[in-house]
Amino acid sequence: MDGHTVRIFTTPTCAYCKMAKEFFKANNVEYQEFNVAQDAKARDEMIQKSGQLGVPVIDIDGKLVIGFDRPKIGELLGIK
């Protein structure tokens, strides 16, 4: 999936974060991961964008997906 900018805000213990990353890998989607448990700057950015502390927060081309919403992620990436 070329041309998409995918950023995922995660914590190490988040099961849905792992599911999202596995989905990206299975579909050859490149992504940048930000561990908000360790990266205060990324955490502040995530809270500013999403208004909440829950992870994952996934930013696909500037559109936010809160949680591992597979249908929405697939739609934004053009994956069936």
Residue 35 lies in a domain: yes
Q: How far is CA 43 from CA 57, 61, 64, 79, in A?
A: 10, 19, 15, 28
Predicted TM-score (pTM) above 0.75: yes
CATH number of the CATH domain containing 51: 3.40.30.10
* Inter-axis angle of helices 70-77 and 15-26, nearest 10: 30
Per-residue model confidence (pLDDT) at position 3 = 83
Contacts of 62 (CB under 8 A, 6+ apart): 5
Give per-residue pLDDT as tens, 26-48. 999 999 999 999 999 999 999 99
**Domain span at 57:** 6-77
Per-residue model confidence (pLDDT) at position 2 = 60
